[in-house]
């Protein structure tokens, strides 16, 4: 829409009158004849008036008529007259404060730092809710340089000799989740009330032979891990200042996405629980455990015989949030058998000094030792050092 210069000038004059406050408009209304008031004609009637003063008053009266009955006008204050010059007092408009929060007046729940890390991550309370079907981070989204003590070639059909892969490669991990449902069995009316939830998560991890140009830089292994997770919140006080926060059930499938005879896959169900101890507004300790059971397969369909005897049947993760910029985590897995196998993984995530802890970007150092770093290596012990970048808390 294009305004004529005269129309634009009149609109600017009208805006100027709005900034002078309601008190001045009442004074000006005395000079405007009743026939010039836009009670029902709209702002277009103001354009037909011949004098600027009448137009301004007309615009003001029209603007006032558009406000709801209980809407307060912008307040004004008066600067005292200058004793030296004798100039009269001047009214100054005080604009109402702007609401920078969400439309309902509350901060976004899963980013509200008044709640604990576990509560925000799993949205355990009504005040941490970020609603359903929005993508959230799950495990770290990572790109890392990897050096290992041994590399397992992918399975090949027939008598084909597998290529000789380098021990140095690149690891890429993608991981997301979304909440499918909330308040199924437990909910409340206030922000502090707990609510249960159902989640879907997906993690993909790939080993890429980036430094093997002679082999056309293939992806050595890619594992896919979709899972369904039900979370039931608690607030159970434990000794030493700990708080038991959640129990959960999960169903997970892990596969390399290949068909027989190259397929590697297994299915399992698990129980989980987690507790935390808040040390300060920026520091906390967390413990999370999982105990799983493999879903049985017929011997003819079993791509990974005895995989639970290598990767393990239980997992315990301890996390120390040192401050906003540094997090250290240790994950232990065990087969729960006399022939003990499993793995140990140590993670250190550190925020860049140029953007400390206030974005999700982290430098990530990881040391892994044991079985199950990938499905391809499930029955071979490996020591792996990873250095890279990860995205968390998004």
Scan for tokens 């540094």, then name that residue. Answer: 326
Residue 252's pLDDT is 98
* Each residue's pLDDT tens digit, 126-147: 999 999 999 999 999 999 999 9
Residue 27's pLDDT is 44
| Domains contained in the chain, CATH given | 5-80 (no CATH), 110-156+164-297+307-391 (2.40.230.10)
* Each residue's pLDDT tens digit, 25-51: 444 444 444 444 444 456 667 766 767
Nearest to 56 by CA among 113, 11, 7: 11
CA distance 128 to 111: 7
Nearest to 315 by CA among 197, 139, 92, 91: 139
Residue 161's pLDDT is 65
CA distance 6 to 12: 10
Residue 74's pLDDT is 46
Residue 42's pLDDT is 62
Residue 107's pLDDT is 53
Secondary structure string (H, E, C) spanning 290-325: EEEEECCCCHHHCCCCCHHHCCCCEEEEEEEECCCC
Contacts of 124 (CB under 8 A, 6+ apart): 118, 194, 195, 231, 233, 245, 246
The answer to whether 227 and 252 have CB atoms below 8 angstroms apart is yes
Task: Kindly give the parts of the chain with pLDDT less than 70.
Answer: 1-44, 47-48, 50, 66-107, 154-162, 356-358
Residue 173's pLDDT is 98
Residue 263's pLDDT is 84
pTM of the model: 0.72
Residue 219's pLDDT is 93
% pLDDT > 70, the chain: 74
The answer to whether 176 and 143 have CB atoms below 8 angstroms apart is no
Residue 252: CA atoms inside 13 Å, Cβ hemisphere, count?
Answer: 23
Residue 24's pLDDT is 43
Residue 299's pLDDT is 83
Residue 25's pLDDT is 41
Please tell me whether residue 181 adopts helix, strand or coil conformation.
Answer: strand
């Amino acid at each position: 829409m294009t305004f004529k210069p005269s129309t634009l000038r009149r609109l600017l004059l009208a805006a100027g009158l709005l900034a002078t406050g309601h008190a001045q408009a009442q004074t000006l209304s005395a000079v405007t004849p009743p026939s010039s008031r836009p009670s029902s004609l709209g702002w277009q009637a103001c354009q037909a008036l011949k004098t600027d003063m009448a137009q301004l008053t007309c615009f003001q009266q029209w603007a006032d008529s558009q406000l709801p009955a209980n809407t307060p006008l912008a307040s004004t204050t008066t600067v005292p007259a200058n004793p030296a010059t004798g100039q009269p007092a001047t009214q100054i408009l005080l604009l109402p404060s702007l609401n920078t929060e969400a439309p309902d007046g509350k901060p976004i729940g899963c980013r509200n730092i008044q709640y604990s890390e576990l509560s925000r991550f799993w949205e355990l309370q009504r005040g941490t809710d970020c609603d359903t079907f929005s993508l959230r981070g799950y495990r770290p989204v990572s790109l890392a340089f990897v050096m290992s003590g041994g590399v397992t070639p992918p399975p090949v059909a027939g008598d084909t000799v597998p290529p000789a892969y380098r021990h140095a490669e690149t690891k890429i991990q993608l991981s997301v989740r979304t909440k499918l449902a909330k308040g199924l069995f437990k909910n409340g009316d206030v922000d502090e009330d707990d609510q249960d939830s159902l989640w879907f998560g997906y993690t993909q991890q790939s080993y890429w032979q980036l430094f093997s140009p002679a082999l056309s830089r293939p992806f050595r292994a890619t594992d896919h891990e979709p899972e369904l997770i039900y979370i039931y919140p608690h607030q159970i006080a434990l000794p030493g200042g700990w708080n038991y926060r959640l129990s959960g059930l999960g169903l997970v499938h892990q596969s390399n996405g290949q068909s027989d005879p190259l397929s590697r896959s297994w299915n399992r169900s698990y129980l989980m629980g987690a507790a935390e101890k808040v040390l300060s507004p920026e520091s906390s300790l967390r413990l999370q455990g999982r105990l799983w059971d493999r879903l049985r397969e017929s011997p003819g369909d079993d791509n990974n015989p005895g995989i639970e005897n290598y990767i393990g049947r239980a997992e315990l993760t301890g996390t120390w949030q040192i401050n906003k910029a540094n997090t250290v985590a240790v994950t232990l897995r065990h087969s729960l058998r006399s022939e003990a196998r499993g793995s140990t993984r140590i993670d250190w995530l550190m925020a860049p000094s140029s953007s400390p802890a206030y974005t999700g970007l982290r430098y990530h150092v990881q040391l892994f030792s044991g079985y199950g770093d990938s499905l391809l290596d499930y029955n071979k012990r490996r020591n792996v050092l990873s250095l890279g970048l990860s995205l968390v808390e998004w």
